[in-house]
Chains A and B, each alone.
Chain A
Amino acid sequence: MQRSGACPLGIGLTLAFCLAAAFGPLLYTVDPDAQNLLMSLKAPSQGHWLGTDQLGRDVLARVLHGARYSAGIAISVILFNLTMGCALAGIAMWFGGAISTGLMMFSDAVYALPGLLVTILLADVLGGGALVIVFLLWLVAWPEYFRLSYAIGAQLMRSDHVLASKLAGASGLTIFRLQVLPVMLPYLLSLGAISVGRIVLSIATLGFLGIGISPPQAEWGMMINDLRIYWQLAPVQLAAPVLAIIWIVLALLILSHSIPKAKVGLG
């Protein structure tokens, strides 16, 4: 099969997306929120490369800003999860006993919840905005990172070299930083890479349902929901956010499928 070609393809697609999210809004400087009702649902033209939506806003600008929104949220959620997962696992491993059991039970309970339900329940009362979405997606996803780091860390803590460091009088923080973290991090990062796609899909789903969004913000799911009744009048405008979602999720899928294999080959 085309295993060898998959990895560069995934990296290329992901990189193209990141570049578009980072520099797209700088290069294509049309205001994504500027409405012009006289220009609503116009086909692609010189001034609006992908046409305009039902309020006359530029679709390309909105797709690019939506990319930045999704990428920003996804990256912050992953960063929060990584730090939180490591920190809690560190606490659980060092103190052990009741604290570790309690944390495990709590994470099991959160892990067993359907995340979208909690998000819907809380997003409504916390109000919209990117920060709320980051908080909620983090709230339902941290147990996964905690469990993984704890599983790896607990195994390490029983190993001889950690015991040797302990006997030599190294502090818990030093052991964690020098002996546990370097082993843990690659696993956590590959879990992060896999879950980016899921986070992007959740953001789009929430936007589509109209939950946790503060309206002028450009978001792909919401764009699809707004434009789907105009599919005959504005097929290009509807296709743009759809393809954007499929692009990034597919890129990450290819990437996450090729990363572990590359790693196995190395190790």
Chain B
Amino acid sequence: MTLAELLARKALLILTITLLVATCSFWAVHLLPENLALQIAAARFSGAEPNQQLADVVSQSYGLDRPVIAQYVDWLARALRFDFGRSLTTGREVLQDIAHHGINSMRTVFWGFIAGVGLAVPIGYVCGRFAGSRLDTALTIFSAAVTTIPSFLVAIVMIQFFVVELGLATLSGTSGWARLWVMILTISISVSGSLSRVIRAAVIDVRNQPYMQFALMRGVPERQLFWRHGVKNALRPMLNYLPVVFMFLIYDVIVIETVFNYHGLGWALISAVKALDIPLMQGLVLALVLFYLGCTTLSDLITWRVYRQKAH
């Protein structure tokens, strides 16, 4: 596959999914049994009892009295330009809110991902290199436990241990490392669980390849052999697994930010859902989906770059 072909395919996928999600979120809202205008009125002018008159005003100013199809086309056109309107609770532009929370999320996700891979690679390598040993069993049980336990439980335990018991971190303020490091550790643990198992399997697989066995018998030192000839093949399953890791990362952003009460995209999404802040909700979901797709595209590009000779 050439680079242009790969990019075209990815661009098509991203466009399809964006349209799919935008369509989903539009119809989900407009097929609501309740009167949308009344709900927006209730959210926008909290305090005043929502009545039909207010609903009519809202209906007119939001263009809800137009035919549904016209609204749908308009919504798609605006969604493709990332124009989601104004948040019903904060009154700010949705895009502004997304940018504000996105920076906070990026900080934890980026370092969480780096730390997670940094944790998974050594664990997976050691497990695969010494497969069957006690160390391998212990580490495998650890990673199985991490994948078994839902990430909100891991987060609760981390808060109990590091914040409440040891007092090594805080839960207030947004950007200080005193707060971030516990979140990053939590994300990295939940990322490393399944990733280290993939790496373990890949290392075992590569070490059992005939060419590796042959070189070993010829007397090539084990370490030199693995780093020179094994590592590139062992990395491939890991790169292929990255999209799944990104998917878990998105879930973690939502769950862990909610538990830690950290004002990022996930926290904002859950708050928007609770407050029925529909424009913000739609914008955040689309932003997270696009972020995820961007990450998978990046990992596909890396895979392509590393292995392109093989494709011929």
- Report A's interface with B, CB cutoff 8 A: 1, 105, 108-110, 112-118, 120-122, 124-126, 197, 201, 204-205, 208-211, 221, 224-225, 228, 231, 242, 245-246, 249-250, 253
Contact = CB atoms under 8 A, between A and B. Distances in A.
Chain B interface residue count: which class? 35 or more
A204 B296 contact: no
Contact of B152 (A114, A122, A224, A250): A224
B17 interface: yes
Given A109-B20, A201-B150, A221-B152, A114 B289 contact: yes
A122 B28 contact: yes
Given A109-B20, A205-B255, A231-B160, A121 B152 contact: no
Nearest to B17: A109
A224 B153 contact: yes
Contacts of A208: 150, 152, 255
A210 B274 contact: yes
A122 B24 contact: yes
Nearest to B32: A125
28 contacts: A1-B132, A105-B16, A112-B17, A112-B296, A113-B21, A114-B251, A114-B289, A114-B292, A116-B251, A117-B250, A118-B21, A120-B273, A121-B21, A121-B24, A121-B281, A122-B24, A122-B28, A197-B148, A201-B150, A205-B152, A205-B251, A208-B152, A210-B270, A211-B270, A211-B273, A221-B150, A245-B149, A246-B149
Nearest to A212: B273
Contacts of B152: 204-205, 208, 221, 224-225
B288 A112 contact: no
Given A114-B289, A121-B282, A122-B24, A109 B150 contact: no
B117 to A, nearest CB: 19
Given A245-B150, A253-B144, A125 B251 contact: no
B276 A124 contact: yes
B254 interface: yes
A121 B247 contact: no
